[in-house]
Amino acid sequence: MYRNLIILILFTTTFFNAQAFQASNSPTLYTLDNNTVKRSIQEVIESKSFEKNGSNILNLGFGNVDYWIKTSIPSDLLKYNNLVLFIDQSRLSFVEVFYVKDNKVLLTQHQKNYDLIAPRNLIGNVSYNHIPDTIIKANPEIYINIISKELFVAPVMIQTTQNTTRQLIRRDLIFGLYTGALLIMFLYNLFLFFSVRDKSYVFYVFYILFTWLSQISVQGFASKYFWPDNLWLHQHCVSLFSLIALISGLSFSISFLNTQKLVPKCHKLLQTLLGFSFVTLLLSLTNYSYVAFALMQLLTALSCITALIIAGYVYFKQNIKPAGYYLLAWTVLTVGICMFIAKDYGIIPYNIFTIYILQIASVIEVTLLSFALADKINIFKKEKEESQADALRILIENEKLVREQNVLLEIKVKERTEALQNTNQNLNDVLVNLKEAQSQLVDAEKMAGLGQLTAGIAHEINNPINFVTSNIKPLELDINELDDVIHMYEKLDLTGNIEEQLSAIESFKKRIDINFVRSEIKSLLSGIGDGARRTAEIIRSLKNFSRLDENDTKPVDLNEGLDSTLILIRSTFPSNLKIIKDYQVLPLVECMPGKMNQVFMNLITNAIYAIKAKPEQKDEEFVTIKTWQEGNHVKISIKDSGTGMPEEVRQKIFEPFFTTKDVGEGTGLGLSIVFRIIENHHGNIDVVTKVNQGTEFIITLPVNGN
């Protein structure tokens, strides 16, 4: 209610000001452009180029204008004292007044607003020059030199001091009412922002603040009351504050109308206008502020039109009620802006009503936008209440559904539990079967290795046994012949012819070649001894390899284990294979010797297989076995000159059941068992391989087993 009262007072006051303005005496004006040719006062007095102006309203346009104006005191005012030359413009850069009679200058009045000093000669918000009584009586011609760096549109009037004072008092009243109205709106919406925390209110309160600052800057009140000594701010305040108000208004429009969601194409247009506004704001801080002022007016007009179109679309097409207040508010402001600009270009009369139409429109707009924001809050509140009611209804329904579902869930859980128990039992059975299958496969691998080992042992033992067997028969014959000689000596008849008997014995000894028999017996016994020793060596190697009586870890000489393994699998070596041994002295390693010998046998057997699998055999192939110590670890390298492996095979060789051998030649568990044994001994095994160049397995084991 109080807002409507303020608006009514503004309209009423403005109406009376307009009436008072129209009743003022207006002198006839003549203008002379001084931009192209700079003239002295004498040249101006003598000039014949003055052109008559259609009214007492001067519209000199944009930019750095320099004009001379010629006028005189209206005849009906010559009877008054205390007359005032009144130029209704607070933004002049330079004003110089010459009172001339008979081509002589009687008096000169200077007024520099912001070329060098702040506006000290301003009363209220206008350029104000007293005309001395002596000058009034002389009835001189008045020459006025005006320089403006901004848009210059203003009336030039000569009137009494009393009329001027009354007019300025009315303007101060309008200024106070306008300031009070916007201050109330500013504080009201700022309080609402702290209550609802809606970012639209932030943009809106900034919009109110800078709209007010821009309006009081245009009217000159800002320079008079707030920064009378700040030259730079006086020069730039109108464009600066107007552009900040425009930026705030565009940001408010984007947020309030939710353009990004409701009208995305227009949202991009508003963002473009926002970007141009920022660029123009930067331009207003330079010496081209008059250009920024023109761009500001253009952007303001475009923004109002765009906002009107968007608000109309959102209100009529999207049926969003707060957009109706917004549409009405911007319509009022757009009409006010159009009238304000039309006044500047002489389309409508220049009077106090048109001077303040922008302020009147902005007050109405601010009020309507406050209604829009309040209506938006009410809508949010209503939506929240409806949402809470819906949530409560849904909650009740959900509770009912939960109760119903709990019953079904219990049944399902019971069924699922029984199914899981059955599945678990099946999995346990499968796991037992898998363990049995794994055990059988490992046993099969062990049996395959045992078969290979047994075949090798049989081959190795067969040679010395055959050698022993082949020597027994000759040895038996030789012993029988010696036994015959012994029997002949035992049968000697000492009573008979001894010489004849000895001669027969000597003849028999010559016939059997007793010396050869003796040497042959020694040779045969030596051969039998060698065969027995070789057989014992194989038995010792077998015992050292298997260590069946040692299941716990113990200090072991790994070099001895490697030699034992080589002896037992010697029968599998191809004829062109050469074993190269490069053993260094190793400390005793804490390990399970039987397991380690199994590792050596698997790796050496695989190396021999890789050599045999080569499509082109060399005259001499190699298996190099090397041992050495590095710190607290020992290393065993088993390197072959076989086929090598590609990278994809190398990555899979330790996986169970993976094999590159033909079907029936391997189970794919050998290297998997090797890897597990090395891992159980806290060691690691590395593989270096290249296709057609061989493979090297490097085993690293800790000396102390940890």
pLDDT, tens digit, 9 for 90 and up, residues 211-246: 888 878 877 777 777 877 777 777 778 888 888 988
DSSP 135-165: HHHH--EEEEEEEESS-EEEEEEEEEHHHHH
**β partners of residue 590:** 555
Partners of 109 in the beta sheet? 97
User: Highest mean pLDDT: which of 363-372, 439-448, 552-561?
Assistant: 552-561
pLDDT of 98 above 70: yes
Burial class of residue 214 (count of CB atoms within 10 Å of its CB; 0-12, 13-18, 19+): buried
- For 439, 546, 596, 635, 701, the CA distances from 681, given in Å and listed in that order, are 21, 18, 9, 13, 7
Contact 588, 543 (CB under 8 A): no
pTM higher than 0.75, yes or no? no
Predicted local confidence at residue 117, as pLDDT: 32
User: What tokens appear for 666 in the block?
Assistant: 């391997």
Write the pLDDT tens digit of every residue in 590-601.
888 878 888 888
Q: What is the pLDDT of residue 358?
A: 74
For residue 338, give the DSSP letter.
Answer: H
pLDDT tens digits for range 129-172 = 788 888 888 888 899 888 876 666 677 888 888 887 887 787 77
123 with 168: CB under 8 angstroms?
yes
Give dist(CA 662, CA 279) in Å, integer: 80
Which of the given ranges, 119-128, 186-195, 462-471, 632-641, has the highest pLDDT on average? 632-641
pLDDT at 527: 65
Confidence band of 453 (pLDDT split at 50, 70, 90): low
CB–CB of 599/554 below 8 Å? no
Nearest to 565 by CA among 547, 587, 588: 547
pLDDT digits (tens, 9 = 90+) for 219-228: 777 777 787 7
Question: Do the Cβ atoms of 58 and 30 come closer than 8 Å?
Answer: no
Phi, psi dihedral angles at 695 (to 5 degrees) = -135, 145
Residues 6+ apart with CB under 8 A from 221: 125, 175
Tell me what the mean pLDDT of segment 543-551 comes to.
Answer: 51
CA distance 563 to 604: 11
pLDDT band at 628 (very low <50, low <70, confident <90, very high): very high
Confidence of residue 291 (pLDDT cuts 50, 70, 90): confident
Whether the predicted pLDDT of 507 surpasses 70? yes
Tens-place pLDDT, residues 63-81: 567 888 888 888 888 888 8
pLDDT, greater one: 369 or 440 = 369
Q: Let me know if 141 is exposed, middle or buried by CB neighbors in 10 A (0-12, 13-18, 19+).
A: middle
Q: How far apart are the first and last CA of the chain?
A: 92
Query: Would you state the structure tokens that stand for residue 8, as one six-digit string?
Result: 């009514």
| Phi-psi sector, 216: left (phi>0), alpha (psi -120 to 50), beta | alpha
How many angstroms separate the CA atoms of 323 and 359, rounded? 22
* pLDDT given for residue 2 in this prediction: 32
Residue 411 buriedness (CB in 10 A; 0-12 / 13-18 / 19+): exposed
| pLDDT of residue 8 exceeding 70 | no
pLDDT at 18: 36
pLDDT for the residue 657: 66
Per-residue pLDDT, 125: 43
381 pLDDT band (50/70/90 cuts)? low
Which band of pLDDT confidence, cut at 50, 70 and 90, is reported for residue 548? very low
Is 582 a residue whose pLDDT tops 50?
yes
DSSP 662: P
pLDDT given at position 293: 77
Alpha-carbon gap, residue 603 to 698, rounded angstroms: 10
Which CATH number among 1.10.260.40, 3.30.565.10, 2.40.128.30, 3.90.25.10 corresponds to the domain 554-702?
Answer: 3.30.565.10
Closest CA to 642 of 664, 623, 668: 623
CB 548 within 8 A of CB 581: no
Average pLDDT score over the chain: 76
DSSP-assigned beta bridge partners for residue 622: 578
pLDDT at 301: 79
Q: Is the domain defined by 20-167 classed in CATH 1.10.10.10?
A: no
Cβ 540 vs Cβ 480: under 8 Å: no
Which of 341, 340, 390, 382 minimizes the C-alpha distance to 361?
340
Which segment of 133-137, 662-666, 684-688 scores lowest on mean pLDDT? 662-666
* pLDDT above 70 coverage of the chain, percent: 79
Mean pLDDT value across residues 541-558: 64
Which DSSP string corresponds to 583-652? EPP---EEE-HHHHHHHHHHHHHHHHHHHHT-SS--SSEEEEEEEEEETTEEEEEEEE-S----HHHHTT
pLDDT tens column, 636-651: 999 998 888 888 888 8
688 or 382, greater pLDDT: 688
The model's pLDDT over 321-378, given as tens digits with 9 standing for 90+, comes to 777 777 887 788 778 878 877 776 667 776 767 777 877 887 887 788 777 777 666 6
Which sign does the torsion angle of CA 132, 137, 138, 141 carry?
positive
* Axis crossing angle, helix 231-256 with helix 199-218, rounded to the nearest 10: 150
Within 8 A by CB and 6+ apart from 299, the residues are: 243, 246, 273, 276, 277, 280
Indicate the pLDDT class of residue 23, thresholds 50, 70 and 90.
Answer: very low
With cut-offs at 50, 70 and 90, classify the pLDDT of residue 666: low
Phi, psi angle pair for 126, to nearest 5° = -140, 165
Name the CA radius of gyration of the chain, rounded: 60
Report whether 156 contacts 89 (CB < 8 A).
no
Alpha-carbon distance of 223 to 231, in angstroms, equals 9
**Phi and psi at residue 328, to the nearest 5°:** -65, -40
Band the pLDDT of 7: cuts 50, 70, 90: very low
If we measure between CA atoms, which residue out of 447, 353, 406 comes closest to residue 667?
Answer: 447
